[in-house]
Amino acid sequence: MNRETIDQFGRPAKFEDDGSGIHQMSDRRNVLDQCPSSHKEGKPVATPASARALSAATGKSYWRSLDDLAGTKDFRSFVEREFPAMASELLDGSRRHFLRIMGASLALAGAATVPGCRRPDHKILAYNRQPEDVIPGVPLFYATAMPLPGGSCEGLLAETYEGRPTKLEGNPLHPENRGKSSVRAQAAILDLYDPDRGPAVAEALTGEAGAAVKATPLADAVAQTREAFAQIGAAKGRGLAFLVEKTTSPSRDALRDRVLSAGKWPEARWFAYEAIDNEGELAATRAVLGGPAKALHDFSQARVVVSLGHDFLTCGAGVSDSRGFAAARYRDGDAGHEASGSSMSRLYVFESMLTLTGGQADHRWAVRPSRIAACAMALARAVASKLDAAAARGLTDALGRAAASDGAGVPSADVFNAIADDLLNARGTSLLAAGEHQPAQVHALVAALNAALGNVGRTVRYVPLKGDAGQSSLASIRALKEAIDAGQVSTLVVVGANPVYSAPADLAFAESYAKVPLTVHLGEADETAAASKIHVARTHFLESWGDVETWDGVYSVVQPMIDRLYAGTASDLELLASLAGESDTDPYFIVRNTVRARAGNADFEKLWRRTLHDGMSPAGQPRGPAMAVDFAGVARALAEPLPAAGDGLEILFLASPQVHDGRMANNGWLQELPDAVTKLTWDNAILMNPATAQRLGFSTDRHPVTPQYCHGEMMTLSVGGRSVDAPLWPQPGLADDTVAVHLGYGRRVCGRVARGSGFDFFGVRPGSGQGFASGVTVEAARGKSPYLLATTQDHWTLEGRDILREVDLPRWQKFGDIDYLKAKDLQKDPYDRTRRLNFAGLLGMESHTPANVDMYEATQKNAYALRFTEEDENGNPLRDEKGNIVPIKNVHGKPIQQWGMSIDLTTCTGCGACMVACQAENNVPIVGKKEVAKGREMHWIRVDRYYSTAPTSEAQKDTLGVGDDSAILADADMMVMPVTCVHCENAPCEVVCPVNATVHDEQGNNNMAYNRCIGTRYCSNNCPYKVRRFNFFDYATKQFRGNFAGKDLTEKLPEIARPPSEHFVPPRLRQKKLEVATMQHNPHVTVRSRGVMEKCTYCIQRVNAARVETKLADLNLIPDGFVQTACQQACPTDAIVFGDIYDSWSGNGAGSRVKQKRGDGRSYQLLAYLNTRPRTTHMLRIRNPNPALVDASRRARWDHPLGHGHGGSDHSAPHGSGGHEAKPEGHVMSLPILTPSRGALA
């Protein structure tokens, strides 16, 4: 056993060698005997209680006086706080005091080292002997897992530098992630270093007056509650209740079972609660499948997908849904026939609010939330009528007994017949999914349809939910409330949940909560913490041992990466075990025992190591038997009347894609990540279709105050007698008469990041309508001025430009493979010169521009020999025997790899994982709401979102063209497009920089030399893609003293004296960032100062690291796929591909993946006509509409090889008004384009 494996941060640096010594040291510091012999049993050996006592027993006596100091409480607290946030003790004290402290540290070190193998192991020490594998500056990766809200997990790899985790990546072995990761997983690392998590800081961070949050260290909490629990123990647990967040942790389940066991507290009550839960599915599966179950979807096998309000791309299980969907979404054909042989799944979406899933849809209908059920019913009837009798029997019977439903507000029967035909053609490979806000009937119908279509077991799998996950949250919180009100609860332990904030509004839970005599809360410093008698701050999952299972039973150990940053914090296992008086309260041993129990007869140590190394247990098996759909249950579920089409407005409550139910609200990356659809940051709003807003008499002007800033008019939203004031944000794509709101904002007690961001719609969410509710009124809030909303993209339409190209699958299949170089009449430019354009290129403006003629190529024909003998500075020929350009070679004659990227718009869903991954990798700072509102966000990669709609009239066509987006209403299509620095070969930025700060390197990267940049910003002006980001202030190095959401800490000053933004405070008057906040930084990436420009670097630090690795492996070149950019690595749908664009040796001669992508007919260069020659290319988006559901003019274009692609509004408009119809073979430039909706680019 190697004791050097504990690094200077007290974090186990290497887990594989031995697990026994690497548990939570700081709380087991009474285990001072680290001798391997005594650890074989894994039991602590009784030792003297403190270092002081130890020293008295075994140390040299002449240290005693210093030991006295070392034993004082103050000093101990200093030592225990391994990351003193401000190191205030050192600053406060005199030099003499400092020396005393140093001396005492030495003394402790002496006490530690002298007694041989007995030494405390929780101190900061430089490496005495270099541990194996730990090389300063070279990261180590460890497997861990991140529990997800409500259950399941993501399997992750943590990148650590000398014991400091800096980045999380998907675990390639984990079936949920397969190397990919979600937005949430990418952002989780920031929570670890959240300064507001520490108990010391939480005190100062009360949200509202009187809501003081004081965290109690676990040991104190246990001591304070000892008496109460003794009484409870005597009463067999009567009066004790637990309210826990839902999780799928086997260790916690085991603890629960022990706590509730007969010998302990059998009469205690245990409630599982999630603020945003899938109540409908739980109820439906109880009726249909006989027990609570979770529908797991395998989109990769689904050819036809129907979503009934289910936004699986945003809130599907982890990332596997997105990955599976993308895998089936588009498949290339055989080599050489990519287009004609390609296939694609088809997605129908019925939804109320425009979501990412709706944005991917081939056909989308905006339906009010209450009408989704009617859609499901209509679809079921259509399918039942077309199924053969035997297969349809169960379904028909169930439908026959269903309550009547009206067809108001539902698409026409033709729609459902067409979908039904499609579903029947894809029996067994179709998939229906229902949204979590939908009632049980919809889930039951979807289960019945899946069963009738033979999808169950193929594309849909129902896994039973056991324990906490199967409980209804609504029932739990109701029962708890009733128990409290009945005086049955004397002690309430809340683990993780925040019911005071998120409980249904009509329960008035906060009042009941205050009545409980003893409340113990473990979690963030939130509303419930403020209302609790005892609040224990919770550890981050990277700080403490734990375990978790995926829905289908893949077991992972949540492995910590660092010792807890804040003393006194506890994990849920630790708290429960301590309160229950368990003999083993160390989560490390709790988890080990769980694994031991699961190991059965297998070699436990081997299994343990395997589990830690792989990040999951090899024994993980899909759990439970397959569950069969019982149509009688469906009939029972359908006997309940469907939601009626009410009059008036309906409200849809959605989990925020960023902060979920508010638990991620203190994460700056997530707050600043623009919502994929609304593009709002730092806030939520009342979302309403512009037409509905206008009908209600509200202005849809997004700039009522100044043209620069978006504002929302303040509205009072009332549901069932409760109301909340929030701004109105016109949002295309919503169903008429529907209001959508995101939950999780408007936190009242929270950290400094979340403070002031958004509005709390939990306050109006009734328990009866957790997903949606009717009887909503929205009226203008009197006397409230418009509210500033920070959006990263103000413009809605493409303005008729060919930036984002789109084509329907049949047309692509027919024409995508045409070799345009051979089709003579198609390849000439207006000057009769040969042009090299692929299918996607011909859809764009570059097809109108003259061919780019390389003047050197022209010379070469005449002076062949001269060109041939040309050499570069290293003596390598520039051309081969045939005169083709050969890759540049370095001094050793090895080719220099040329990097490039491809972004596939067909599979990109716009989730934003790339944005957060880039932020984590490249130390991209957050700037706060006011700066975002100004347009100063720093994201290196952004996801552009455009809406388009089929123009219904000529007049509308014109208005769309000039950017009046009021015409974009419910039926808007959404398109997303990630844009980052495209690393132009002809980079416009490089020419104009006066100080050579942005230059090309020989690998084709467009680099930024930060120390050369003086900040003229000319490069950004000249960048046609506007991907450069400027540090207007010291965003990265100075602490933001204000409230990120726009209010500043100088609130006490009179209005006039306040700086317009916290950033207006000169840097020297501001504090440096807290040390803990800078610990997340990637050590390989410069932290940029103010006044310099920055942008995407193609993660050049990763390329360089990969080059070192390949050199060590004695390889000439970095193999394809060996280096991944951060965005690529995170991308759940694999839309981003990065590699060497000249690599022709990989893939059995097919070339690197990026090379293949660039050769694809779908590949095009953004703004190619500028001849910037981007290294990052985009691949056009393909939609796969049902021919039965599109109009004739759209179908006609499928036979048209060169009609123009997507230009914003050009969904249905034929390319008639340009010169094309008249001369189908030619491609003249259309001139009448003063009205952009006509002509060349319309």
Partner 1 sequence: MSTLQPDQATALGLAGRGRRGFDPDTIDGTLISDPSVRPPLVLGDRDFHSVTNTICGWIENRTPAWWFPAFMISAGIAGLGTAMILFLIVTGVGVWGLMNPVMWSWDITNFVWWVGIGHAGTLISAILCLLKQKWRTSINRFAEAMTIFAVICAGTFPGIHVGRVWMAWMLFPIPNSNWIWPNFRSPLLWDVFAVGTYFTVSLLFWYMGMIPDLATLRDRALARINVPVRLGPVGLPGMGFLDKITEQIVLPLNRVAAFVYGFLAMGWRFSTRHWNNYEKAYLMLAGISTPLVLSVHSVVSFDFAVSILPGWHTTIFPPYFVAGAIFSGFAMVLTLLIPARELYPGMKDFVTAKTIENMCKIITVTGSMVGFAYMMEFFIAWYGANPFEIQTFVRRAFGPYWWAYWTMITCNVISPQVFWFKWCRTNIPFIFLISILVNIGMWFERYVILTTLSGDFLPSSWAYFSPTYVDIFTFVGSIGIFMTLFLLFCRFLPMLAISEVKNVMPMADPHAYDVGHGGHGHNGHGHNGHNGHGVRNGHAANTGAY
Helix, strand, or coil (residue 432): strand
Residue closer to partner 1, measured from CB, 439 or 1208: 1208
Taking the C-alpha atoms of residue 1041 and residue 1056, their distance in angstroms, rounded to an integer, is: 18
Show contacts with partner 1 in window 473-492 (CB under 8 A): none
Question: Regarding beta strands 330-331 and 304-308, do their DSSP bridges make them parallel or antiparallel, or are they unpaired?
Answer: unpaired
Residue closer to partner 1, measured from CB, 330 or 946: 946
Q: Does 421 bind partner 1 (CB under 8 A)?
A: no
Show contacts with partner 1 in window 205-244 (CB under 8 A): none
The distance of closest approach from Cβ of residue 1088 to partner 1 in the complex, given in angstroms and rounded to an integer, is 10
Applying CB under 8 A, which of residues 64, 1012, 1072, 1111 lies at the interface with partner 1?
1012
Q: Does 694 bind partner 1 (CB under 8 A)?
A: no
Applying CB under 8 A, which of residues 1167, 1168, 1179, 1182 lies at the interface with partner 1?
1167
Determine if residue 1010 is left, alpha or beta; phi over 0 gives left, psi from -120 to 50 gives alpha, anything else beta.
alpha
CA atoms within 13 A on the CB side of 1044: 28
> Which residues does 579 contact at the CB level (< 8 Å), separation at least 6?
222, 225, 229, 493, 520
Helix, strand, coil shares of the chain as percentages rounded to 5? Answer: 35, 15, 50
The distance of closest approach from Cβ of residue 711 to partner 1 in the complex, given in angstroms and rounded to an integer, is 13
Applying CB under 8 A, which of residues 65, 72, 88, 708 lies at the interface with partner 1?
708
Stretch near partner 1 under the rule CB under 8 A, chosen from 361-369, 604-612, 790-798, 1137-1145: 790-798
Residue closer to partner 1, measured from CB, 204 or 991: 991
Q: x/- string (CB under 8 A) for partner 1, residues 950-969?
A: ------------xx------
The distance of closest approach from Cβ of residue 941 to partner 1 in the complex, given in angstroms and rounded to an integer, is 13
Applying CB under 8 A, which of residues 1066, 1159, 1187, 1226 lies at the interface with partner 1?
1066
The distance of closest approach from Cβ of residue 957 to partner 1 in the complex, given in angstroms and rounded to an integer, is 16
Show contacts with partner 1 in window 1041-1060 (CB under 8 A): 1060
Applying CB under 8 A, which of residues 18, 332, 640, 944 lies at the interface with partner 1?
944
The distance of closest approach from Cβ of residue 1044 to partner 1 in the complex, given in angstroms and rounded to an integer, is 15
Q: x/- string (CB under 8 A) for partner 1, residues 85-114?
A: ------------------------------
Q: Does 705 bind partner 1 (CB under 8 A)?
A: no
The distance of closest approach from Cβ of residue 113 to partner 1 in the complex, given in angstroms and rounded to an integer, is 46
Show contacts with partner 1 in window 795-834 (CB under 8 A): 795, 797-801, 803
Applying CB under 8 A, which of residues 830, 935, 1119, 1147 lies at the interface with partner 1?
935
Cβ pair 460, 324 in contact under 8 A:
no
The distance of closest approach from Cβ of residue 1206 to partner 1 in the complex, given in angstroms and rounded to an integer, is 14
Stretch near partner 1 under the rule CB under 8 A, chosen from 483-491, 950-958, 1015-1023, 1046-1054: 1015-1023
Residue closer to partner 1, measured from CB, 224 or 849: 849
Q: Does 166 bind partner 1 (CB under 8 A)?
A: no
The distance of closest approach from Cβ of residue 1134 to partner 1 in the complex, given in angstroms and rounded to an integer, is 23
List residues bridging with 806 in a β-sheet.
1181
Stretch near partner 1 under the rule CB under 8 A, chosen from 529-537, 631-639, 700-708, 915-923: 700-708
Residue closer to partner 1, measured from CB, 457 or 1024: 1024
Cα-Cα-Cα-Cα torsion 937, 939, 941, 945, nearest 10 degrees, comes to -40
Question: Vertex 888, ends 886 and 889: CA angle to 5°?
Answer: 115
Q: x/- string (CB under 8 A) for partner 1, residues 302-331?
A: ------------------------------
Residue closer to partner 1, measured from CB, 217 or 800: 800
Stretch near partner 1 under the rule CB under 8 A, chosen from 60-68, 705-713, 1100-1108, 1177-1185: 705-713
Q: Which runs of E-coded beta strand occur in 576-721? A: 649-655, 680-681, 686-688, 710-712, 714-719
Q: x/- string (CB under 8 A) for partner 1, residues 912-931?
A: -------------------x
The distance of closest approach from Cβ of residue 934 to partner 1 in the complex, given in angstroms and rounded to an integer, is 5
Residue closer to partner 1, measured from CB, 148 or 1167: 1167
Nearest one of 468, 734, 714, 461 to 576, comparing CA atoms: 468
The distance of closest approach from Cβ of residue 1239 to partner 1 in the complex, given in angstroms and rounded to an integer, is 8
Residue closer to partner 1, measured from CB, 311 or 802: 802
Q: x/- string (CB under 8 A) for partner 1, residues 971-1010?
A: ------x-x--------x-xxxxxxx--------------
Could you tell me the CA-to-CA distances from 491 to 234, 264, 387 in Å, in that order? 14, 15, 56
Q: x/- string (CB under 8 A) for partner 1, residues 1018-1037?
A: x-xxx-xxx-xxxxxxx---
Helices of type H across 516-599:
527-531, 572-579, 587-599
Applying CB under 8 A, which of residues 119, 1063, 1162, 1227 lies at the interface with partner 1?
1063
List residues bridging with 294 in a β-sheet.
463
The distance of closest approach from Cβ of residue 967 to partner 1 in the complex, given in angstroms and rounded to an integer, is 15
Single-letter amino acid code for the residue at 318: G
# of chain residues touching partner 1 (CB under 8 A): 79
Question: Regarding beta strands 1136-1140 and 899-904, do their DSSP bridges make them parallel or antiparallel, or are they unpaired?
Answer: antiparallel
Stretch near partner 1 under the rule CB under 8 A, chosen from 67-75, 532-540, 1061-1069, 1113-1121: 1061-1069
- Residue 229 tokens read as 């629990």
Fill in the DSSP letter of residue 622.
-
Nearest one of 287, 242, 296 to 264, comparing CA atoms: 242
Q: Does 684 bind partner 1 (CB under 8 A)?
A: no
Show contacts with partner 1 in window 538-577 (CB under 8 A): none
List residues bridging with 977 in a β-sheet.
944
Show contacts with partner 1 in window 1077-1116 (CB under 8 A): 1089-1093
Q: Classify residue 857 as exposed, middle or buried by CB count within 10 Å of its CB (0-12, 13-18, 19+).
A: exposed
Taking the C-alpha atoms of residue 1103 and residue 1107, their distance in angstroms, rounded to an integer, is: 6
Residue 47 CB: number of other CB atoms within 10 A? 18
Q: Does 1170 bind partner 1 (CB under 8 A)?
A: yes
Residue closer to partner 1, measured from CB, 749 or 926: 926
Taking the alpha carbons at both ends of the chain, their separation in whole angstroms is: 71
The distance of closest approach from Cβ of residue 710 to partner 1 in the complex, given in angstroms and rounded to an integer, is 10
Show contacts with partner 1 in window 829-868 (CB under 8 A): 845
Question: Vertex 370, ends 368 and 373: CA angle to 5°?
Answer: 110
Residue closer to partner 1, measured from CB, 100 or 801: 801
List residues bridging with 789 in a β-sheet.
710
Q: Is the CA virtual torsion 1031, 1036, 1041, 1043 positive or negative?
A: positive
Stretch near partner 1 under the rule CB under 8 A, chosen from 250-258, 615-623, 664-672, 936-944: 936-944
List residues bridging with 657 in a β-sheet.
none
Q: Does 719 bind partner 1 (CB under 8 A)?
A: no
Nearest one of 1132, 1082, 1031 to 921, comparing CA atoms: 1082
The distance of closest approach from Cβ of residue 1008 to partner 1 in the complex, given in angstroms and rounded to an integer, is 13
Query: What is the per-residue burial (b if ≥16 Cβ within 10 Å, else e) of 473-495?
Result: bbbbbbebbebbeeeebbbbbbb
List residues bridging with 726 in a β-sheet.
715
Q: What are phi and psi of 765, to 5 degrees?
A: -80, 115
Q: Tokens 């588009």 correspond to what residue?
A: 330
Could you tell me the CA-to-CA distances from 29 to 119, 239, 387 in Å, in that order? 10, 34, 68
Residue 470 CB: number of other CB atoms within 10 A? 18
Taking the C-alpha atoms of residue 579 and residue 226, their distance in angstroms, rounded to an integer, is: 8
> Which residues does 606 contact at the CB level (< 8 Å), separation at least 6?
none
